[in-house]
Amino acid sequence: MQAKINEVANIVAIVGRPNVGKSTLFNRLTKTRTAIVDSVAGVTRDRIYGKFDWVGRDFSVIDTGGYVRGSDDVFEGEIRKQVEIAIEEANIILFLVDTEQGVTGMDQEVAMLLRKSKKPVILVANKVDNSMRQTQSAEFYSLGLGEIFNISAMNGSGTGELLDEVVKQVPEDVEVEDLDIPKIAIVGRPNAGKSSFINALTGEERNIVTEIAGTTRDSIHTRYNLFGKDFLLVDTAGLRKKTKVHENLEFYSVMRSVRTIENSDVCVLLLDATRGLESQDLSIFSLAEKNKKGIVILVNKWDLVEKETNTAKEYKNKILQRLEPFTDIPIIFVSVLNKQRIFQAVEEAMNVYSRREQRIATSKLNDTMLPIIEGNPPPASKGKYVKIKFVTQLPTRTPSFAFFANLPQYVKEPYKRFIENKLREQFDFTGVPIQVYFRQK
């Protein structure tokens, strides 16, 4: 069966020198529209990845600000790296400048890089909160980047016009033919073994039906038929060598992962067993979880780890502790080099896909969950007793459940986690983020 789908991968990057208000604008955008508002914890000391919606279009936004570290003399080199990565990976770039400070040498340096790029660039003059600043912002025409959009990220003025321009400059989501089969993304930080994993799979006898052009120049969707299972493998690993960018690896791996994760159903996250779960791995895991994708973790290079009786069990527990509260995740120890358990990994990814797609009949949900709730009702709050009468699965792309109650506002987070755990116990959602809502009956 073939159907048409819209691939959502509109990436907006905010670039500029330090202290021009990039993070303030990021926070403003991700809170402007409540349709999709999400930021990933643990990416760096600053939140850098979020989503926003404007006039019915979905966008991912990257704030490059959190990655520029060090003293003033290293700032320029770091900013150059971030701008170069943003030029490569984003659909559109917002170049933020500070009207209070005026044009600086660093602004001119960034502008020169952006003028050479073929990406749409919008010049955004920030801190324009009075008529004098409006006049002052005209000096940024000297950067040679066309029209200036005056905003105040702090109070929000001008951001509507700016977003209208973003929508105008980013083409409508490209419709691609969807083969209606699972899309499995291989993700992880550099050198974790993504390319080797894919090579190990492609080196075996299997049927490549066709090469399908990916949604970007970076991702290849290859159709596989393995053990009777049909799926698309989404690969961004090792497709192009970077000659110019000697990047901050954490920023780069997260930036590359955004598009791949958003256009997949299940993410196979490769870890390097000799290094454990590092901050980049957590960042990529968070991206997958926040986008409600199925997740399988592969601990690669397991052949290089010295083992005792409980080594695998202890290693697994350490990983799960760091991933709390979402710990219902399959973890498989593999050696890509020796082709140990790599096909088990693919099989588990397909199982996670099936769990993510499952629909549970309303009658079965109520027959199962209501007796559990009756035996463990929500704690009373302010003398009020919460009564849950009905539950149903919502018609969403990923598993979401609505519990109808007389006083949903009194249901606290610990009880929501209890209900989620019970849903997982009863219906097997291993590897699948699920959402639980309490609504007025």
DSSP string, 303-368: GGS---TTHHHHHHHHHHHHHTT-----EEE-BTTTTBSHHHHHHHHHHHHHHHH----HHHHHHH
Say if residue 70 carries a ligand binding annotation.
no
Residues contacting 183, CB < 8 A, separation 6+: 221, 231, 232, 234, 263, 264, 265, 266
Note the CATH architecture for domain 362-440: 2-Layer Sandwich (3.30)
Q: Which amino acid is at 423?
A: L
Say if residue 20 carries a ligand binding annotation.
yes
pLDDT at 404: 94
Say if residue 63 carries a ligand binding annotation.
yes
**Three-class SS state of 216:** coil
Question: Contact 436/416 with Cβ under 8 angstroms?
Answer: yes
pLDDT at 230: 78
Domain 11-169 has CATH 3.40.50.300: yes
Where residue 16 falls (left for φ over 0; alpha for ψ -120 to 50; beta otherwise) is: left
Domain 183-357 has CATH 1.10.290.10: no
Say if residue 239 carries a ligand binding annotation.
yes
pLDDT at 77: 66
Question: Contact 58/64 with Cβ under 8 angstroms?
Answer: no
Mean pLDDT by 10 residues, the chain (441 residues): 42 86 87 40 47 83 63 59 75 92 89 88 92 90 93 91 92 58 84 78 47 39 71 59 45 68 89 87 86 93 85 91 90 90 90 93 95 91 88 91 92 92 94 92 75
Say if residue 15 carries a ligand binding annotation.
no
Is pTM beyond 0.75? Reply is no
Say if residue 17 carries a ligand binding annotation.
yes
Rounded distance between C-alpha atoms, residue 391 and residue 369, angstroms: 8
Rounded distance between C-alpha atoms, residue 330 and residue 188, angstroms: 16
Cis peptide before 371 (omega within 30 of 0): no
pLDDT at 71: 45
Say if residue 241 carries a ligand binding annotation.
no
Please indicate whether the domains covering 11-169 and 362-440 agree at the CATH topology level. no
Say if residue 300 carries a ligand binding annotation.
yes
Q: What is the DSSP letter of 282?
A: H
Say if residue 301 carries a ligand binding annotation.
yes
Rounded distance between C-alpha atoms, residue 135 and residue 116, angstroms: 28
Question: Contact 126/99 with Cβ under 8 angstroms?
Answer: yes
pLDDT at 30: 82
Say if residue 185 carries a ligand binding annotation.
no
Say if residue 53 carries a ligand binding annotation.
no
Question: Contact 356/434 with Cβ under 8 angstroms?
Answer: no
Question: Contact 298/346 with Cβ under 8 angstroms?
Answer: no
Beta bridge partner(s), residue 335: 340
Say if residue 18 carries a ligand binding annotation.
yes
Say if residue 65 carries a ligand binding annotation.
yes
pLDDT at 78: 65
So where are the chain's domains? 11-169, 183-357, 362-440
Computed over its alpha carbons, how large is the radius of gyration of the chain? 24
Say if residue 173 carries a ligand binding annotation.
no
Return contacts of 223-230, CB within 8 angstroms, 24+ apart: 223/179, 223/181, 226/201, 226/343, 226/346, 227/343, 227/346, 227/347, 229/346, 229/347, 229/350, 230/181
pLDDT at 17: 83
